[in-house]
Amino acid sequence: MTPSPERRRQLLATAAEVFAAQGYSATTVRRIADAAGMLAGSLYYHFDSKDSIVEEILRGFLDELWGGYDAVLGAGLGPRETMQALVTESFREIDRHGPAVAIYQKESAALAARERFAFLAASQRRFETTWLTTLERGGAAGVFRADLDPRLTYRFVRDTVWVAASWYRPDGRHSPEEIARQYLAMVLDGIAVQASEEPDGTAQSIAE
């Protein structure tokens, strides 16, 4: 009997949680099978190796991420709107694929050194180019500050957004879209209260 797609998705979700919690090297096929409530030999009916399992998890996450990113990039938005949409899509992916994001963050550097996982390095290069292009386009248009190094800004935004996978919970009080909205407010507008103009032209904090 051919395994059902739904059963395969369930096994991949279970394996992703085990890999994210224990690390790739420390995880065995037996441990994944135990978590899935089956014998290790039965898991081989679905996947031929541990490498196959983690590859499918990571490819699935990246394929969906790039599907969302490509839709944003193809929408013809301005630099600020593109930034907003990319950040929002990133949080949606953290919501959908939290364990896969954790695996990617912890394991991709080591895995990418192997030919089988070369797609990880290619995706990282594409990711960097996407964000840098958006930032540079915004700087040239006067939308983003020209005095900030785009690479430093990219690294700040990247790390600020994706580290959220370490604490985000799908059942938390905020939706991915609300978290993205607040992150964008902090990144694009800062956290300091802006000054308002008094009638005589002097600036006064609106917090006073």
Per the domain annotation, does 45 fall within a domain? Answer: no
B/e letters for 7-36, b = 16+ CB within 10 Å, e = fewer, are: eeeebbebbbbbbbeeebeebebebbbebb
Residue pair 150/136 in contact by the 8 Å Cβ criterion: yes
Domain residue limits at 105: 50-190
Alpha-carbon distance of 90 to 181, in angstroms, equals 12
Residue 130 forms part of a structural domain: yes
What CATH code is carried by the domain that includes residue 118? 1.10.357.10
Helix (H) or strand (E) holding 114: none
**Torsion angle in degrees (nearest 10) through CA of 119, 124, 125, 126:** 90
**Residue 167 domain-assigned?**
yes
- Collapsed DSSP state (helix, strand, coil) of residue 7: helix
Identify the pLDDT of residue 181.
Answer: 96
Can you tell me the distance from the alpha carbon of 8 to that of 194, in angstroms, rounded to the nearest whole number?
52
Q: Do the domain assignments include residue 55?
A: yes
* pLDDT, tens digit only, all 208 positions of the chain: 566 888 899 999 999 999 999 999 999 999 999 999 999 888 988 999 999 999 999 999 999 999 999 999 999 999 999 999 999 999 999 999 999 999 999 999 999 999 999 999 999 999 999 999 999 999 999 999 999 999 999 999 999 999 999 999 998 999 999 999 999 999 998 888 866 544 454 444 333 3
- Residue 123: the pLDDT is 97
Q: Are the CB atoms for 60 and 100 separated by under 8 Å?
A: yes
Q: Within a domain: residue 80? A: yes
Question: Total domain count for the chain?
Answer: 1
**Cα separation, 126 vs 123, whole angstroms:** 5
117 within domain boundaries: yes
| pLDDT value of position 205 | 36
Residue 208 counted as domain residue: no
User: Is 197 among the domain residues?
Assistant: no
Evaluate whether 165 touches 94 at the Cβ level (below 8 Å): yes
Residue-level pLDDT at 206: 33
> What are the tokens at 188?
């694009």
- The burial of 207, by beta-carbon neighbours within 10 Å (0-12 exposed, 13-18 middle, 19 or more buried), is given as exposed
- Amino acid symbol at 96: R
Tokens of 41: 């030999």
| C-alpha–C-alpha distance, residues 132 and 40, integer Å | 44
